[in-house]
């Protein structure tokens, strides 16, 4: 059962039978999604969830009635009746993911299992005022709904954008260079225009969620090095946002006391050191600094994996992966533990937009705190 572990200091919620059903249904749906086109049998679902086979049968019967699950052939017999394999019906629901980047809007229409059905991109000018931006986003969303084979209304729209914001209330806090957006209730304003539920989150969190749902299990940190440096933290399968959606401020971790000044006003931040090294052409040094920050993170949170992404990393990904890995390997040698793996995060241009779609889809599968 689920306790929102994302910083709420408030009272824990009691659970009734409806909550019980939702929980178990979401669990089964998540396993169906993970199994993909191969499908999964009822008995396997029972084993994985700890529920009795009969309970699984009832839950899957409901899912089949609702059109969310369907038969997908049968396995080879092991001496008795062969298991019937079930699979998720991806077309049963769609979500739109929107990535508001500095100067461009990128958006995808994804089906239930996260497969991208359609993409759109459009120029973005945050200085044009709220109305124009909202209209632009609405236009892209409408266009995607037209692209989608099924003309059904999407379950919702997820919006990812840089900068601090309030995930819970859906309110922006500060958008660099555009103070007029401070305190703008993006979620509610957009929901009004679009007529469907809207979820907003930081771009790094959306990216991390996309990775988590896309198969990265356990706990990991997604370090994004582009024009800035940020992180999305996934702990035990859920994105850790903190009560103010302020977690993941990785770029301004100080790793060099009294070091060179950073744009944030502090000195010796990872971001300043890292980007400074890149500017000087010292990618190895940049990777070493990034690795030091990553090692701090690993020591503090005991996470399983480090994933690197962002345009600056992708420009010389081998060097970055190698450099960060070297620091973590050295750390592992000192502590005697197994080294924490470092990998390049899959993603591409629409990675954040896909993650944004998961802001809507993930709750269906019992992930996230919506």
- Footprint of DNA on residues 33-62 (CB under 7 A)? 41-43, 51-55, 57-61
Interaction of residue 192 with a second copy, rule CB under 8 A: no
- Given a second copy, DNA, none, residue 295, with its beta carbon under 5 to 8 Å by kind, binds a second copy
Write phi, then psi, for 194 (nearest 5 degrees). Answer: -85, -25
- Given a second copy, DNA, none, residue 30, with its beta carbon under 5 to 8 Å by kind, binds a second copy
Q: Which residues pair with 172 in a beta bridge?
A: 165
CB of 370 to DNA, least distance (A): 20
Interaction of residue 78 with DNA, rule CB under 7 A: yes
Q: Which of 1, 11, 12, 18 binds DNA (CB under 7 A)?
A: 18
Decide whether 154 or 366 has the Cβ nearer to a second copy. Answer: 366
CA distance 52 to 45: 9
Q: Are 315 and 333 in contact (CB under 8 A)?
A: no
Q: Which stretch binds a second copy (CB under 8 A): 35-43, 113-121, 128-136, 330-338?
A: 330-338
Interaction of residue 248 with a second copy, rule CB under 8 A: yes
Q: Which of 10, 11, 12, 81 binds DNA (CB under 7 A)?
A: 81
Tokens coding 125: 């000018």
Q: Which residues pair with 343 in a beta bridge?
A: 307
Number of CB atoms found within 10 A of residue 79's CB: 5
Rounded to 5°, the CA angle 171-175-177 comes to: 155
Write phi, then psi, for 47 (nearest 5 degrees). Answer: -60, -45
CB of 57 to DNA, least distance (A): 3
Rounded to 5°, the CA angle 178-182-184 comes to: 115
Decide whether 53 or 363 has the Cβ nearer to DNA. Answer: 53
Q: Which of residues 162-181 bind a second copy (CB under 8 A)?
A: 174
Give me the DSSP letters along 330-364: HHHHHHTSPPPPEEEPP--TTHHHHHHHHHHHGGG
- Given DNA, a second copy, none, residue 329, with its beta carbon under 5 to 8 Å by kind, binds none
Q: Which stretch binds DNA (CB under 7 A): 20-28, 160-168, 175-183, 318-326?
A: 20-28
Half-sphere exposure (CA, 13 Å, Cβ side) for 350? 20
Q: Which stretch binds a second copy (CB under 8 A): 87-95, 188-196, 240-248, 309-317?
A: 240-248
SS3 311: helix
Decide whether 83 or 145 has the Cβ nearer to DNA. Answer: 83
Q: Which of residues 331-360 bind a second copy (CB under 8 A)?
A: 331, 334-337
Half-sphere exposure (CA, 13 Å, Cβ side) for 165? 26
Would you tell me which residues interact with DNA (CB under 7 A)?
15-18, 20-21, 24, 41-43, 51-55, 57-61, 74, 77-84
């Amino acid at each position: 059962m689920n306790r929102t572990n994302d910083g709420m200091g408030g009272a824990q919620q009691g659970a009734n039978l409806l909550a019980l059903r939702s929980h178990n249904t979401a669990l089964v749906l998540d396993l169906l999604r993970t199994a993909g086109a191969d499908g999964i049998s009822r008995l396997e679902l029972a084993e994985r969830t700890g529920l009795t086979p009969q309970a699984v049968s009832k839950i899957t019967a409901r899912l089949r009635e609702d059109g969310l699950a369907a038969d997908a052939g049968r396995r080879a017999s092991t001496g008795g009746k062969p298991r019937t394999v079930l699979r998720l019906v991806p077309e049963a629901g769609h979500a739109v993911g929107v990535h508001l980047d500095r100067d461009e809007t990128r958006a995808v229409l994804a089906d239930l299992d996260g497969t991208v059905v359609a993409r759109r991109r459009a120029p973005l000018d945050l200085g044009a005022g709220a109305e124009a931006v909202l209209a632009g986003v609405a236009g892209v969303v409408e266009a995607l709904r037209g692209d989608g084979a099924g003309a059904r209304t999407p379950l919702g729209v997820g919006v990812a954008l840089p900068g601090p914001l309030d995930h819970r209330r859906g309110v922006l806090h500060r958008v660099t260079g555009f103070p007029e957006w401070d305190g703008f209730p993006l979620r509610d304003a957009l929901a009004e225009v679009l007529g469907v539920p809207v979820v907003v989150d930081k771009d790094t969190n959306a990216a991390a969620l996309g990775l988590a749902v896309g198969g990265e299990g356990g706990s990991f940190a997604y370090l994004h090095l582009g024009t800035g440096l940020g992180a999305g933290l996934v702990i035990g399968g859920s994105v850790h946002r903190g009560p103010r959606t302020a977690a993941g401020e990785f770029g301004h971790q100080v790793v060099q006391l009294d070091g060179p000044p950073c744009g944030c006003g502090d000195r010796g931040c990872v971001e300043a050191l890292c980007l400074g090294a890149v500017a000087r052409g010292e990618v190895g040094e940049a990777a070493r600094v990034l690795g030091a920050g990553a090692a701090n993170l690993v020591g503090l949170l005991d996470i399983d994996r480090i994933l690197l992404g962002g345009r600056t990393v992708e420009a010389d990904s081998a060097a970055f992966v190698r450099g960060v890995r070297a620091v973590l390997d050295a750390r592992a040698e000192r502590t005697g533990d197994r080294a924490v793996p470092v990998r390049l995060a899959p993603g591409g241009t629409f990675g954040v937009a896909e993650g944004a779609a998961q802001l809507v889809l993930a709750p269906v599968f019992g992930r996230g705190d919506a």
